[in-house]
Structure 1
Amino acid sequence: MSKPKLIVLTLIALLVAAFITLGGPDVLTLENLKQNQAQLEAWIADNLVLAVSLYALVYVVSTALSLPGATVLTLAGGAFLGNLVGLLTVSVASTIGASLAFLVARFLLRDTLKRKYAKTIRRIDEGIEKDGAFYLATLRLVPVFPFFLINLAMGLTGMKLRTYALVSWLGMLPGTFVYVNAGTQLGQVSSMGDIVSADLLLSFALLGLFPLMAKFVVGFIRRRRAYRGFRKPDSFDYNLLVIGGGSAGLVSAYIGAAVKAKVALIERDRMGGDCLNTGCVPSKALIRSAKAADTLRHADRYGLDSVPVSGNFSSIMGRVKKIIAKVEPHDSPERYRGLGVDVIEGGAAFVSPWEVDVVRNDGRRERLSARSIVIATGGKPFVPPIPGLNTMDPLTSENLWDLQEQPGRLLVLGGGPIGCELSQAFARLGSRVIQIEAGDRILAKEDVEVSELVQAQFHREGIDLRTGHKAVEFAEENGERIAWCEHHGERVRIPFDRVLVAVGRAGNTDGLNLEALGIEPRENGTVPVEEDLSVGFPNVFACGDVAGPYQFTHAASHQAWYAAVNGLFGQFRRFRVDYRVLPWVTFTAPEVARVGLSEAEARAQGVDYEVTRYGLDDLDRAIAEDEDHGFIKVLTVPGKDRILGAVVVGAHGGEILAEFTLAMKHGIGLNKILGTIHPYPTWNESAKAAAGQWKQAHAPQGVLAWLERFHRWRLGGGHTGKAQRKQDRSVT
């Protein structure tokens, strides 16, 4: 730490110590001020200028140092100085103190506060970048965060001091008036009759109503700012208009129709989106075929003769198509029209926050309006700009399902869930798979031991896993496709037949004309959403892959509820999307299923935890099915059974995880899981066994020792001696 910073820090420490030593916390209480009210009023009357100066100095110092007592000081300003003088003094002193705290943070605490209040600072930075002074005024009028934290956090932004001081003064003025006015009324309370006086009751009413009034005013101003330049239609065609017929769009439309709103759903391609057509359904169908091949190839595990597996790849892909067709009616236009949704086959482009131009697939054009619009256009595979990659006719999770000939050598780029699932499936079906991951391990979002277990299984199954390899160039040499990778500073040559790109997904906003609304997608194509999933305007929402941050089908459905409900009823109440209990599963063998915190995340967030581990090699059902490998790991609050997170690595991991997900959602601890009857022999007995492991580790040893003595006493006084003599005779 530099010398100037050390001097400032020392001075602050001395002032805080003096405040505590001199009894500041005891002095700055309503009780103390009331007890000395008469003496203080008399002294102030004789020394008004000095009193105002000292009061202002105390207020400035307490605010600058973020000491407790600002509310009491504000009330005291009204009680002893009156409305006008109190208001002027408090408003000026609070602004000066806030500005000093702002400067201290900028000079001294920038790095420390960024670490300690990372989430808060990030949210404020986003607001400053977007709205600047208006965002600060909003925080001052409706304090989402404590005033002292706003003072300190704003010092970490690039806002100019004069802007900060002026906006703070204006933003705090209405609240200051309400508190000072309340103080004038408290100062006049001298009997029980004064407590029910009209003036005092009005002041308390203002004190309670101010946050609500301020929130209404801020909301009104926000709406006026957002809709500036747009003309709102006098009437609307729909209550809710949904763009996109994937998981998020279908759920949004379903909810709207269920509450009898007039709903339109616009989809230019196939209903069901990625999940039905190119994602969850086809990939799980392919994985099941691959599992069947693996079972036949290793039938000797079950006392049968292993057989060489050969299959017609086009037949396998034909089965995938049949399964898609079987599920398709669940998401069909006919079903949703039957629910009362106007399903429109075509594309939509924004004209205003309430209107879209629609080009139907048959060429017809029209303009539709809605009170609220939900963007649910999904995502698409991200293809990195690696030289030569586009000339390789790359496969992605989108076009893979049109493949009719199985690749002999399949190169998979990416070690995330999609890359891992498809690598193992193709390897089990007979392809020679080379999987490339730039990082040092696959499934990097999971704990290291989880990645290592899956990697070990991949190696056993013959997958050529290359971690630490970064693809830098693709080329064709002598009629053979080649990938060049960097590995520890060296170039590595990898020949292949087809390449599958699975390095992530990007939000899909093509053709929406978001620029008409001034909405700019992020680098990954997703649109920036607020906590209520609105996008730039109170009536425009986004959910699913186009919104992020979790690109799962069940996350899209979860978000869709918030988008639809806020879109239809947001004028009365808005709900913030809740991601606290969001499970996910990677469908490799073994499956990797997780909910809540991992150990790495808990450490990064500074969360204290205990770990309970149960090996699936101890589970009878797993042993019977020759799947006795993997584990369950549960993170709990130290000394308590409340679950912070759980991961299941093993067969049926996704199903086992459901019990922990339910427990976390509804506050059920491991003790109650242990006390629940689980049928034998089932895979879900493992959840109970994990709870038993926790209970065993937290057994009350002192109580057990006392019980041991109690039961020994219950046997009778001479029993122990007789037993010992009998044992001695047998030895002799």
Structure 2
Amino acid sequence: MSAPAPVPGPTPPPAAAPHRRLPLLIGLALVAGLALWAWQHFGLAELLTLDALKARRAELDALVAERPLATAAVYFGVYVLVTALSFPGAAVLTLAGGAMFGLGWGLLLVSFASSLGALLAFLVARYLLRDLVQSRFGAQLAPINEGMRRDGVLYLLTLRLVPVFPFFLVNLLAGLTPIGAGRFYGVSQLGMLAGTAVFVNAGTQLASISAPGDVLSPGLLGSFVLLGCFPLLAKALVAGLQRRKVYAGWTRPRRFDRNLVVIGAGAGGLVSAYIAAAVKAKVTLVEGHKMGGDCLNFGCVPSKALIRSAKAAQALRKAEALGLRGVQGRVDFAAVMERVAGVVREVEPHDSVERYTKLGVEVLQGHARMLTPWTVEVRGADGRTQVLSTRSIVIAAGARPFMPPIPGLAEVGALNSDTVWSLRELPARLLVLGGGPIGCELAQSFARLGAEVTQVEQGERLMAREDADAAALVTASLQADGVRVLTGHQALRCEQDAQGKRLIVRQGGQEIALPFDQLLCAVGRTPRVEGYGLEELGIPLTPRKTIVTNGLLQTKYPNIYAVGDVAGPYQFTHAAAHQAWYAAVNALFGRFKTFTADYRVMPWTTFTDPEVARVGLSEDEARAQGVAYELTRYGLDDLDRAIADGTAHGYVKVLTVPGKDRILGVTIVGEHAGDLLAEFVLAMKHGLGLNKILGTIHTYPTLSEANKYAAGEWKRAHAPQGLLAWVAKYHAWERGA
């Protein structure tokens, strides 16, 4: 275990560097101090009142008549300073502009002075406060930041057109967001013009005004509110025109048979249909293959059943380490695979046609293809078709194993993560192509069941998405189980002759032949996007062949949504289910309220031994992104329960904001790491820091204590040493020492 240590990322931009901000901070402090002194010494607060303005009206008129340019310059400078420092009195100064210079020149001076002062206030907030605020509340501000990047001009224009909202607050808050300074100035110049004109014009009639509030009558305020809503109304109008353009050429049905049609009965499709039925919508779920999708039939469920049998086989081999003598066992591979199939059958009712029919979902077996944005054709196994009309569609077609274009791969009968479950005879020599989660899980399981396994990965290491130290522990475990791990080897071709099958790989400048009896291809999965009408409807795909969606999970057509593997960015069952909630709710209730999918706290686990579980930033990602962090690491070799279980290997690694207990990311490597991660996922989701975890009682002896001890390591590193030194002196005094 090690104490937390600040780990800086790459050098931040000048605005974020404290030593570069110091001169600016000192300069601003001096200006602000001087301005405050002048404000108090010369009684400027009393001068910038309506009564003072009326009393000095003749004197000010004389100054303008005698020295018009100098008076205008002084007025301009005072206005900029008052606005930049957010001092009160801007309304009276605006009235003074009309009274002293008339409507034309007064409007010109005030318009540019107020915009320039607003820009200065904006820049002060940006360079002094934005980095601090974003680093502390970045996760909470993410939706606001995204909204400002996308529609910041419209939001700012709306606020500028409504004078009841304090302009100085707009200046400061806008500086904390990503909107550019140029756009801020331009929108401010335009947006404040109407309100400025009203006040400057009122200043020309100064005698009839008894208070600044008299300028804004209820009718005028209402007009400004309507004017302020104009950008939002304009945005809605533009969106409506875009919708008309998107749907041009398609005939929308006058009525619909259904509220929602869901294509695909994997995790995303099942959850979408379930939610629709729960809120009493009429929903049809179409599945062309097996209910439950890839997770139930080919992925999560069978692979975890296989891992359990492999782990039991490994435990028998290591029984003597637990004091058990003469323990014997023989792997019956056919029985193992039959058990895997039995587990799938046992879970099947959870995702069955019968269950979802009882929930109120119409389930159709067949292949779905979209004919128009509102109609779906379903072709059954018998060739019969029916056409469904629906207000909205959710595409949840999942993914299939990717088979790389390696010459000879099909000829040698390569298996993949879908077809491997048909095996009933253990391959003597298994070659696993791919070093990602699927490849590592299956390579280790087959090795533990008795196969001679070679794992080939083109990259420099296994599990490239995880930290290098986590990947190293998994690699060492695989090798200890007998897996021959070959990284940095590029697959060139497969060959087959009388001597058998072999994969030819290139390592450096050398070609190497790797013999095998079965080849398992586990190099990833590709979305199922063909045959569903996407091309005919012109729905675009990303370079990764996923369907292009916005934050609401809408495709090109606002009533067609995509979730799960076909949408990305994650290929996890829980990610698909998470997206399904947003898609279903937006599809059914979007005319009232829409929700943007939130991926800020997305956990995942690779179920090797040891397991690797992660949420948030990894250490490698933090370095690559230039995110400053502190690292706290607790070794599981120190945990009582892990020692008792004989699983004292791995660690809990937590990344936090420097000097704070706010969690940026967690990686856990060890026994039941996926289960241990849940506490950190909860903490990150609800903004709880390590102090809260430390203050939570954890049952002894359990593996979950590792989370508390990791939090304790962080706390120990942040103990107030100065205060503790005085406490030590106090205790010494108590002893009479």
- Offset at residue 562 of structure 1 (A): 0.8
Matched, 1:418 2:449: no
- Offset at residue 547 of structure 1 (A): 0.8
1:501 to 521, 543, 568: 521
SS across alignment from 1:392 = coil
One-letter code aligned to 2:369: A
Aligned to 1:225: 242
Aligned to 1:455: 475
SS across alignment from 1:549 = coil
One-letter code aligned to 1:226: R
1:517 to 533, 537, 550: 537
Matched, 1:684 2:701: no
SS across alignment from 2:425 = coil
- Offset at residue 351 of structure 1 (A): 2.5
Rounded to whole Å, the distance in 2 between the matches of 1:583 and 1:287 is 20
CA deviation vs aligned residue, 1:490-514 (integer Å, no higher than 9, x gap) = 2222222222111122111121111
- CA gap of 1:619–1:226, structure 2 versus 1, over 3 A, is same
Matched, 1:561 2:561: no
Rounded to whole Å, the distance in 1 between the matches of 2:518 and 2:593 is 52
Higher mean C-alpha deviation, range 672-681 or range 443-452: 672-681
CA deviation vs aligned residue, 1:659-692 (integer Å, no higher than 9, x gap) = 1111111222222222222222111121122222
* Aligned 1:423-462 pairs, distance under 5 A: 423-462=443-482
2:302 to 282, 298, 318: 282
Rounded to whole Å, the distance in 2 between the matches of 1:271 and 1:315 is 25
Aligned to 2:546: 526
CA deviation vs aligned residue, 1:535-577 (integer Å, no higher than 9, x gap) = 1232221111111101111111111111111111111111111
- Offset at residue 440 of structure 1 (A): 1.2
Aligned to 1:215: 232
SS across alignment from 1:581 = coil
Rounded to whole Å, the distance in 2 between the matches of 1:382 and 1:78 is 71
Aligned length: 659
* Aligned 1:78-477 pairs, distance under 5 A: 175=191, 178-180=194-196, 184=200, 194-197=211-214, 199-202=216-219, 204-205=221-222, 212-228=229-245, 229=248, 230-305=250-325, 309-477=329-497
CA deviation vs aligned residue, 1:210-248 (integer Å, no higher than 9, x gap) = 565423431332233234313322211122221111001
- CA gap of 1:653–1:185, structure 2 versus 1, over 3 A, is farther
- TM-score when normalising by structure 2: 0.77
Rounded to whole Å, the distance in 1 between the matches of 2:375 and 2:96 is 54
One-letter code aligned to 1:642: R
Aligned to 1:112: none
One-letter code aligned to 1:520: P
- Offset at residue 173 of structure 1 (A): 10
- Offset at residue 517 of structure 1 (A): 2.9
One-letter code aligned to 1:490: Q
Aligned to 2:720: 700
- CA gap of 1:209–1:488, structure 2 versus 1, over 3 A, is farther
Rounded to whole Å, the distance in 2 between the matches of 1:220 and 1:688 is 54
SS across alignment from 1:407 = coil
Asked if 2 retains the 8 angstrom alpha-carbon contact of 1:79 and 1:183, the reply is: no
Instruction: Tell me which of the two structures has the higher relative contact order, counting C-alpha pairs closer than 8 angstroms and 6 or more residues apart.
Output: 2
- Offset at residue 353 of structure 1 (A): 2.2
Rounded to whole Å, the distance in 2 between the matches of 1:675 and 1:559 is 33
Matched, 1:649 2:669: yes
- Offset at residue 402 of structure 1 (A): 1.5
One-letter code aligned to 2:403: V
Asked if 2 retains the 8 angstrom alpha-carbon contact of 1:141 and 1:215, the reply is: no
One-letter code aligned to 1:356: V
SS across alignment from 2:621 = helix
Asked if 1 retains the 8 angstrom alpha-carbon contact of 2:368 and 2:377, the reply is: yes
- Offset at residue 708 of structure 1 (A): 2.7
1:550 to 534, 555, 570: 570
Q: Percent identity?
A: 47
Asked if 1 retains the 8 angstrom alpha-carbon contact of 2:91 and 2:212, the reply is: no
One-letter code aligned to 1:221: V
Rounded to whole Å, the distance in 2 between the matches of 1:381 and 1:79 is 73
Asked if 1 retains the 8 angstrom alpha-carbon contact of 2:285 and 2:361, the reply is: yes
Asked if 1 retains the 8 angstrom alpha-carbon contact of 2:107 and 2:196, the reply is: no
One-letter code aligned to 2:289: D
CA deviation vs aligned residue, 1:425-457 (integer Å, no higher than 9, x gap) = 111111111111111111111111111111111
Can you give the 5+ residue segments of structure 2 that lack an aligned partner in the other structure?
A: 1-25, 117-134, 160-169
Note the aligned Cα RMSD (angstroms).
4.6
One-letter code aligned to 1:290: A
Can you give the 5+ residue segments of structure 1 that lack an aligned partner in the other structure?
A: 1-16, 98-115, 128-134, 155-167, 721-732
- CA gap of 1:435–1:372, structure 2 versus 1, over 3 A, is same
SS across alignment from 2:416 = coil
SS across alignment from 1:538 = coil
Rounded to whole Å, the distance in 2 between the matches of 1:334 and 1:325 is 14
Rounded to whole Å, the distance in 1 between the matches of 2:635 and 2:191 is 59
- CA gap of 1:137–1:655, structure 2 versus 1, over 3 A, is closer
Rounded to whole Å, the distance in 1 between the matches of 2:515 and 2:85 is 68
